[in-house]
Structure 1
């Protein structure tokens, strides 16, 4: 668990200008491949945060608006901060029908704090990208006295252990350095819990409560490769290595699993009251 959380948190230490454009080559694949949040998770997050059509939300790192739209449909007023221009363009298309949503193309690090302006600061699979020395201070400053930090997570999509072993042979042949370790349900639950620990350690928020939702879905080979290509370790791969790896994975999935793959992961939400 500690190693996984450390890896997650290392993203926030990357150069800010690099973080702004990290996903630019794979924005469309990211939007196609990343799993959506289960309806039950969204409803529980809405209930736990006491959200209503009158609520005000600051979303940090909205990406392509995958989570944003769930809260926009409730009628909340949302200011969504996203530094990547291409993500902003996709999010603008997705959210065009919601006039109470405003998109700001800038990083949270550079965003000008609006003191006590929001009921909720929301981050969906984005909080680990924000500089650790800044995010809790800024979140606290912009929240009302009774406000909360809400974090949504979709952990790694995994096939069964048997399928994982088959695909691992492809990784060992083409990209052994990024061959994924099999996590399973128990470890993913530990990872989800560990991701909330820095929130309470900040001294600005209460220790968060965490709720976990098991998810299962079937991906076509194309969507699965879109999902993989949006992962940071794949973005960083040398291009020919990535081509060879994905070609091998595509062939294996088509020949041995009829062109689709059944996947499991845990989704989670965490809510922490401002102190």
Structure 2
């Protein structure tokens, strides 16, 4: 089993009550620092999924509403299921201008399926939190006969290999257990292919159509550390280690890269028709 599959399984096997509060300490940082999805990617989803003005969307794990807003501003009615109450509050705030958005404070596992109601089931960097023996079954049941599962992914934001090597020295000194492996475009595409295979292997959906957009983003050091703080490995660190790590990363970025770094990642969609 490849490492990324093991990592995904770690998320989906967490206790439901733990999942409900996992991001609570960092919801504001998550909303400020997590990358948005390119507008061109959202437009392609609309086209490929063949959404009509009347289409209704079920979103699984909306978080602070990053993708919810993208689709709400296009006029779509959305039922968004989110287990974290702090995220629900923030999502309601971010979607206040869109009365057609309904934030539901529940886990997808506990949510009562409304059969055949939705044109698409959407998950934006959240699908890996749901157990495989539940998510495909419930998504299929919620969809209309011509409906589709739509997964959005912002893959890991990472610096150039040269910058990564500099920052890795800090990790090895302070928190080697969470030192990120350098991926690059080829590895991120490989991971996406594997994620797509899992969808087809469910037996409930066709093999997905996948499209990627290459993104380059510049993060000032404060925003970069805020971004890291919103990721699970850093949430799980004890506070003294996390503070020491961030202090070391800040010093390296300030001294060697003038307080900012350029980051790369792939943004992607995967659209799989219901069988």
- Structure 1 length as normaliser, TM-score? 0.98
Per-residue deviation at 1:10?
Answer: 2.4
Which consecutive segments of 4 or more residues in structure 1 shift more than 3 A?
none
Partner Cα separation in structure 2 for residue 215 and residue 203 of structure 1: 32
Matched with 1:109 is 109
Q: Structure 1, residues 235-266: CA drift from partner, whole Å, max 9, x if none?
A: 10011000000011111111111111100001
Contact 1:2 1:194 in 2 (8 A): no
Is the Cα contact below 8 Å between 1:122 and 1:149 reproduced in 2?
A: yes
Equivalent position of 2:149 in the other structure: 149
Q: Deviations over 1:18-62 (max 9, x none)?
A: 111110111111111111111111111111111232110000000
In structure 1, the gaps of 5 or more residues are none
Paired residues of 1:52 and 1:75 also in contact (CA < 8 A)? no
2:267 aligned residue: 267
Please give the alpha-carbon distance, in whole angstroms, between the structure 1 residues aligned to 2:168 and 2:40.
Answer: 32
Cross-structure match for 1:62: 62
Corresponding residue of 1:128: 128
- Quote the residue 1:12 is aligned against: 12
1:170 equivalent to 2:170? Answer: yes
Where in structure 2 are there 5+ consecutive unaligned residues? none
Kept in 2, the 8 Å contact 1:52–1:74? The answer is: no
SS at match of 1:53: coil
Q: How far did 1:130 drift?
A: 0.6
Match of 2:250 in 1: 250
Alignment of 1:210-229 (within 5 A): 210-229=210-229
C-alpha deviations, 1:69-88, integer Å up to 9, x for none? 01001100000000000001
SS at match of 2:5: helix
Q: Does 1:97 align with 2:97?
A: yes
1 CA distance for matches of 2:51 and 2:12?
29
| TM-score, length basis structure 2 | 0.98
2:66 match: secondary structure? coil
Give the distance between the partners of 2:2 and 2:74, measured in 1 at CA: 36
Give how far 1:198 is off: 1.3
- Whether 1:118 aligns to 2:111 is no
Cα deviation for residue 6 of structure 1 reads: 2.6
Alpha-carbon separation, structure 2, partners of 1:10 and 1:178: 14
Report the equivalent of 1:82.
82
Q: CA deviation at 1:132?
A: 1.2
Aligned length: 275
Q: Partner of 1:232 in structure 2? A: 232
Q: Secondary structure at the match of 1:67?
A: helix
Superposed counterparts of 1:34-53, under 5 Å: 34-53=34-53
Cα-to-partner distance string for 1:220-241 (whole Å, 9 max, x where unaligned): 1111111111111101001100
RMSD: 1.0
Cα distance in structure 1, aligned partners of 2:53 and 2:145: 20
